[in-house]
Chains A and B, each alone.
Chain A
């Protein structure tokens, strides 16, 4: 699903590369934790997958596409194959839960009848049945993150990227979100989650890729968060 071959990314204004010589292969259907301190390169990794950034050198393949050769007008098609979830939810405050999810489908040109079928189903999946007419400010943080996950997953992407999805949530709520991500992963969707929540990583026993100063220092299946914390 995601292949990094010897990828280095140096931002224009910086001397030290944000990622250096990273080689990682993530297969379809995997659940991978990306761990490491702030500034270790986790976000850069995700931005490269999203093609928000291009690598300075090395090759990246995502969902069967060579990102170096992908022309910019095909980027939207690439992004339709993945869903993204952030620490700050990024919901539209003036739209209801259902409208927030529907918006993501409208703007990729899904027809109205398909949207009306998809939205209730995905809200059920994330456990928000009966809340479709609430607005984001009437929801708890965990519920808001569920809306964000519903929006990311509504189009049934093959890949779900999560950038610190539990960063703003208390431990009990985080467990609920992790269960949801695990359930999504079991439907066959590849999940890549950047985090520095050690308890969650330790409890899930999934593959762990640890970055430090832009390099992969550990790639362990069924790993734990690490020894430094």
Chain B
């Protein structure tokens, strides 16, 4: 009886204000979609960091035939120079491991990474530098390596790959932040909209609620329909947003990005399924909260 009464009141309320209800649902959907996107973008950046930082830290490029750096005045790196540099790197306490990447290996990695882009046809193994890939015990110790090897015969360039990647990640982090800011602004706007819708609903049903007060209806009967109205609109909006995120993962990440960019790790369904409950909870809780505050203000018991 109770549940039936409350639910029928909710239905009446939502239908009476259909256009406003649609506006609320759309507003919640957009804001929650931005929230989900921001969260997944953050996971994406984490995933990429884990993927790349694990592979590269410092690259010591060695002189090739066409190098014109100061250390390359004597021409391409010699076997003696190569052994000397390797021995010194291995002797340094900051270094955890050293890999040697020959021109042929560099070419293979390159071909793998840009397999679909056609650029490979214009590149030959000889045009790529050979290098030592150095993994540090503490990645912050890059400067020690750089200072030690800079200008050394046979060394063309020392690159902190974290520095290079760091620039990319800074840009990606800005995207994340921008999405988060939009999400927050949209959520606030959605909450204000919900508050307004509930206020209008409370006003249009003031005759009913007035009678309910006088005959001694409890807060449950008077206020719950309005709370549920807000929460239900929030839930529908959040579900739409979740559907949007699933579609984005399915059709953009899985179908396009993952196939096109095989050398990049992308967020998987795990992260998506973990994000969706958070999105739904945010939509419902914030909508219910906005309704509750409004109901307390405009509906005395």
Please give the residue numbers on chain A whose beta carbons come within 8 Å of chain B beta carbons, in ascending order.
Answer: 50, 72-73, 75-81, 83-84, 90, 92, 103-104, 106-112, 151-152, 155
Contact = CB atoms under 8 A, between A and B. Distances in A.
Ordered nearest first, which 8 A-B pairs have the shortest CB separation? Answer: A79-B216, A80-B216, A107-B217, A104-B215, A76-B216, A76-B218, A107-B221, A107-B212
B215 A108 contact: yes
Nearest to A112: B1
Given A79-B213, A79-B214, A90 B1 contact: no
Contacts of B301: 72, 75-76
A103 B221 CA distance: 11
Contact of B215 (A92, A111, A112, A151): A151
A155 B217 CA distance: 12
Interface stretch (B84-92, B139-147, B203-211, B253-261): B203-211
Contact of A90 (B207, B217, B222): B207
Given A76-B216, A79-B215, A109-B221, 12 more contacts: A77-B216, A79-B216, A90-B211, A103-B208, A104-B211, A106-B5, A107-B215, A108-B215, A108-B217, A108-B218, A110-B1, A151-B211
16 contacts: A72-B301, A73-B219, A76-B218, A76-B219, A76-B301, A78-B216, A79-B214, A90-B207, A90-B210, A90-B211, A92-B208, A103-B211, A107-B211, A107-B221, A111-B1, A152-B215
B274 interface: no
A106 B207 contact: no
A72 B218 CA distance: 10
Interface of B: 1-2, 5, 207-208, 210-219, 221-222, 301
Contacts, number: 57
B284 to A, nearest CB: 26
B296 to A, nearest CB: 12
A80 B207 CA distance: 18
A86 to B, nearest CB: 9
A109 B215 contact: no
B204 to A, nearest CB: 12
A50 B1 contact: no
Contacts of A75: 216, 301
A135 to B, nearest CB: 14
